[in-house]
Amino acid sequence: MNALLSIWTWVEVGLVALVGFFVQLTLFIFTALFDKRRYVAGRCFRLVGFTAAKLTPFWRFSTHGEIPNGIAPNTVVVSNHESNADPFLISHLPWEMKWLGKKSLFRVPVVGWMMSMAGDIPVERGDRDSATGAMGRCKAWLAKGMPVMIFPEGTRSKTEDLLPFKDGAFRLAIEAQADVLPLAVSGTRLALPKHSWRFATSRGLVTVGTPISTKGMTLDDLESLKNQARAQIEALRASLKPLTGSGVRGQATDPHVAR
């Protein structure tokens, strides 16, 4: 049953992405000249992710707690990273932001094209020049009044523990005097298991923390800023774990959700 439902899920995700691509392409063509922030194309792409998650029989994804309808334009959003399902979950948030993502994703047909139209930022891991260029593009989006989204761990954690945070997001925030907004996700680790084509039952939640102002901060405050954001993310994630059964392998969150 899991194999059949997993096949159906891949078909469903593919069809949603394909239809979404043509909708996004149409919107992009008609808005590109005046929508310099690519807000319309970006929101369309996030709604495609939201729709795919809602139609997936294995996943019960939603927001938790008080979620603001919008955030300050000059904001660097940071979140822990559990799995490739995280973007589907975070797309439930009701605002647009440009995502920093690994360059290989932008080469994937359809999905990569949609990321490019949305204005997301590619970065090559381990390439200093690529990282410098990506941070420059992030700074340009902030200057246009568009928040950016970065996973400060740089990649998915293979355990329940957070990986060390890289400096990039926090250096960017200080240099741009932007707020840092911590998010936490929980429950996605088993949603799309690494090195497996089969989906798994998952109750995923995302919650939003309190913005941290960087006004008056210098690069000497980078470690302090990083520690403040990490502490918030750890506390937020701890509050979600009892609701998602995170870390309990094979725990069912809903007897009516497919196994």
- The four Cα atoms 189, 195, 201, 203 give a dihedral, to 10 degrees, of 20
| SS3 state at 194 | coil
Element (H, E) at 82: none
Please name which of 51, 96, 91 lies closest in space to residue 188, comparing C-alpha atoms.
91
Instruction: For each of the domains in the chain, give its residue range(s) and CATH number, in order of start.
Output: 2-244 (3.40.1130)
| SS3 state at 143 | helix
E-assigned strand segments in the chain: 59-63, 75-79, 98-102, 121-123, 148-150, 179-186, 202-208
Per the confidence metrics, is the pTM higher than 0.85? Answer: yes
Rounded-to-integer distance, Cα 193 and Cα 160, Å: 14
- pLDDT tens digit at each of 259 positions of the chain: 778 888 988 999 999 999 999 999 999 999 999 999 999 999 999 999 999 999 998 999 999 999 999 999 999 999 999 999 999 999 999 999 999 999 999 999 999 999 999 999 999 988 889 999 999 999 999 999 999 999 999 888 777 889 999 999 999 999 999 999 999 999 998 898 777 788 889 999 999 999 999 999 999 999 999 999 999 999 999 999 999 987 544 343 333 333 2
